[in-house]
Amino acid sequence: MDNRARNLRELAIEKLKSEQEINSYKSNLDLKTLIEELSIYQIELEHQNQELISSQNELQNSINRYIDLFDNAPIGYLIVDIDGVIKDINETACILFGSTKSQLKNIKISKLIQPDYQDIYYLYFKRLVSQKYSQTCDIKLQKSDNSFFFARIQGIRQLQLNVDIPEFRLAVIDISIQKEMELKLLLAKEKAEENDKLKSAFLANMSHEIRTPMNGILGFAELLRKPTLTENNRVEYINIIKKSSVRLLELINELIDISKIESGQMQIKLSTVNVFDTLNDVLSFLLPEAKSKNIDFVFDYSNINDPLNIETDKEKLYAIVLNLIKNALKYTNKGHIKIDCYYVDNKLKIYIRDTGIGIPEDKFDLVFKRFRQVEETGFHEGAGLGLSIVLGLLKLLGGDIRFASIVNKGSIFYFSLPCTIVKPILKNTVTNSNDLELDLSHVSILIAEDDYSSYYYATELLSNTNAKMSYVENGIQLMDYLNNAIPDLILLDINMPLKNGYECLKEIKQRNIKTKIIALTAYAMNDEKKLLFKFGCDGYISKPYTQCDLFVEIDKVLTDCLK
Ligand code: ADP
């Protein structure tokens, strides 16, 4: 209060104290002056009041501006106390967290941090408390719907007015897109580096794998010209040329397989496969080589009593087992190779153990990579494709492969393949079609097939079953036939003219015709099989098929019918 104001106040107080005194002043000059002074003071007060109102407005404006700036800033802001409790938070941060102010205020900031990043945040906060300058850290934050986003937090310690304890201002920026880009770049870089290595390995391997057999072929073909050649030499040279050609052919096949797998063109052809027969076929094929290396095959059947008939792709299972046992043989110089086989949890599980050179742990990552070999300097025969193909085929069939290995002790490769067991209800379950028997004397079968040779093939296979057989050659004929008679079983070619198999299936379902249907198709993809079953098929055979495939499927379908 300035002096003038103080004087005026004192005068006013005195005036109030003594009314009479004031009255005695009434005619006084002093009184006049006092009234004048008061009037001036009143005007001044009014001015001051105006100023106060306008500065109050200004203050309110700047508060509003501050709130607007704070709330609608392009980045999230939080004010956190020394215990990590959120004291204030702006709208942008609320949007980032998908919550409201009231939900976020007064909770601990650690509740918004993804569990894996709690330690990082703890260290960051320690830094914030101890440092004068702003501190940054990248962290994963948790939204109210439990999803996460990557954020960059930039914070600074701030002393509060009249209080000794600091508070912390944190700016939060969503950097998920940057992080995603960073990750993509990192992956691209890793991929580019990997491709570079791959290219070198590919060139080195191909050059070695093509030149070696070519050398054998060209060199010994030249030697065959020698007029002085003995009969023994001739036979030996021809054998070498043959062996080299086979090796070259294997390489070409491997290259085709891997390209097919990688371009998604490898098709699945399901049929009933006897696992023991497949394993035996592979072992007999490799036996001469095993004998020449003095290595025993130990194949333990004892885990399963029944003959193991499963539904899978026969060729692919053969290729998988062949590659694995061939590798075991290639990388084993003494001892044995043991094969175990189980069917558990609807999966075929095969274990191949060897007593070979093993794989060093730091090379584990390489073995399933294309063209890569553990010993990339001292060449082993092989292009580094075998295991990539095995992995690709297993993935295609929904399976999985793992391995364990100890250097100089040996390796174990084991894979699992989801598959169903096909219950052998046939009188004879051997896969040799000459031994099969199936009595269908009370069964009528309609073959719907446009290709005469395919029809003829099916009738030949069924000739000894005593089934009553009929034939239609397109979809329209089939539907007409069903107007007059309903067979027990239809062998339905899917790719028929006029009305294809799917259309017939649809109509059969609509007309509620009760018959069993086995679809015959040449496009044996897994999806197609599912689709056919969805359309109402009871069984499914992919072409080309054997008598065993046909009998097993018929047996399955008709047995289901009796249930
Ligand atoms: P390759 O044609 O070179 O055998 P693969 O893809 O089949 O190619 O195997 C990749 C690499 O994994 C091989 O070069 C070899 O170093 C290693 N490997 C595979 N199987 C075995 C095994 N049973 N014992 C030791 N090493 C193995």
Range list of H helices, 73-175 = 91-97, 101-104, 118-130
**Top mean-pLDDT range of 12-26, 171-185, 493-507:** 171-185
CB 270 within 8 A of CB 524: yes
**Residue range 216-224: mean pLDDT, rounded:** 91
**Residue range 267-293: mean pLDDT, rounded:** 87
Give residue-wise pLDDT tens across range 30-57: 778 888 888 888 888 888 899 999 999 9
Chain CA centroid to CA 289, Å: 39
pLDDT reported for residue 430: 40
Give residue-wise pLDDT tens across range 503-534: 999 898 888 888 899 998 876 555 677 788 88
**Is 327's C-beta closer than 6 angstroms to any atom of ligand 1?**
yes
**Is 359's C-beta closer than 6 angstroms to any atom of ligand 1?**
yes
Give residue-wise pLDDT tens across range 337-385: 999 998 888 899 999 999 999 999 988 888 888 777 777 655 567 778 8
CB 86 within 8 A of CB 105: yes
Q: Which of 435 and 517 is assigned the larger pLDDT? A: 517
Query: Ligand 1 centroid vs 374 CA: distance in angstroms?
Result: 7
CA distance 97 to 71: 14
CB count, 10 Å around CB of 90? 22
Any bridge partners for residue 88, and if so which? 79
Query: Ligand 1 centroid vs 43 CA: distance in angstroms?
Result: 102
**Is 380's C-beta closer than 6 angstroms to any atom of ligand 1?**
yes
Return the sign of the alpha-carbon dihedral for residues 348, 392, 252, 525.
positive
Residue-wise burial string across 175-204, b where 16 or more C-beta atoms lie within 10 A, e elsewhere: beeebeeeeeeeeeeeeeeeeeebeebbeb
Residue type, 11: L
Residue 454 corresponds to which tokens in the numbers above?
Answer: 């395919």
CB 339 within 8 A of CB 314: no
Q: Which of 561 and 234 is assigned the larger pLDDT? A: 234
Nearest atom within ligand 1 for CA of residue 413: 23
User: CA torsion, points 503, 504, 508, 514, in degrees to nearest 10?
Assistant: -140
pLDDT reported for residue 532: 84
Relative orientation angle of helices 386-396 and 314-330, to the nearest 10 degrees = 150
pLDDT reported for residue 431: 46
CA distance 268 to 396: 8
CB 541 within 8 A of CB 550: yes
Which residue has the CA at smallest separation from atom 8 of ligand 1?
384
Q: What is the mean pLDDT of the chain?
A: 85
Cis peptide before 544, with omega less than 30 degrees from 0?
Answer: yes
CB count, 10 Å around CB of 97? 22
Q: By C-alpha distance, which of 55, 16, 11, 58 is closest to 34?
A: 11
**Window from 17-21, 129-133, 427-431, 504-508 with minimum mean pLDDT:** 427-431
**Residue range 249-265: mean pLDDT, rounded:** 84
pLDDT reported for residue 212: 83
Task: Give the pLDDT band (50/70/90) at residue 76.
Answer: very high
Query: Ligand 1 centroid vs 348 CA: distance in angstroms?
Result: 23
In the sheet with 76-80, reading across from the earlier edge strand, the strands are: 86-89, 76-80, 166-174, 148-159, 135-142
Does the pLDDT value for residue 452 go beyond 60? yes
**Is 205's C-beta closer than 6 angstroms to any atom of ligand 1?**
no
If one residue of 373, 377, 408 were mutated to test the ligand 1 pocket, choosing by the most ligand atoms within 8 A of its CB, it would be 373
**Residue range 475-495: mean pLDDT, rounded:** 89
Does the pLDDT value for residue 77 go beyond 60? yes
CA distance 154 to 251: 58
**Window from 87-96, 409-418, 511-520 with minimum mean pLDDT:** 511-520
pLDDT reported for residue 560: 53
pLDDT reported for residue 423: 67
**Is 354's C-beta closer than 6 angstroms to any atom of ligand 1?**
yes
pLDDT reported for residue 429: 43
Query: Ligand 1 centroid vs 388 CA: distance in angstroms?
Result: 10
Residue-wise burial string across 394-424, b where 16 or more C-beta atoms lie within 10 A, e elsewhere: bebbebebebebeeeebbbbbbbbebeebeb
Does the pLDDT value for residue 562 go beyond 50? no
In 125-224, which ranges are E strands? 135-142, 148-159, 166-174
C-alpha to C-alpha distances, 98 to 63, 91, 103, 553, nearest whole angstrom = 26, 10, 10, 57
**Is 448's C-beta closer than 6 angstroms to any atom of ligand 1?**
no
**Residue range 182-209: mean pLDDT, rounded:** 84
Max intra-chain CA distance, the chain: 162
Residues 6+ apart with CB under 8 A from 420: 310, 311, 346
pLDDT reported for residue 428: 43
Does the pLDDT value for residue 563 go beyond 50? no
Query: Ligand 1 centroid vs 373 CA: distance in angstroms?
Result: 6
Residue 367 corresponds to which tokens in the numbers above?
Answer: 């073995």
pLDDT reported for residue 525: 58
Residues 6+ apart with CB under 8 A from 481: 446, 470, 472
Query: Ligand 1 centroid vs 315 CA: distance in angstroms?
Result: 21
Does the pLDDT value for residue 195 go beyond 60? yes
pLDDT reported for residue 526: 56
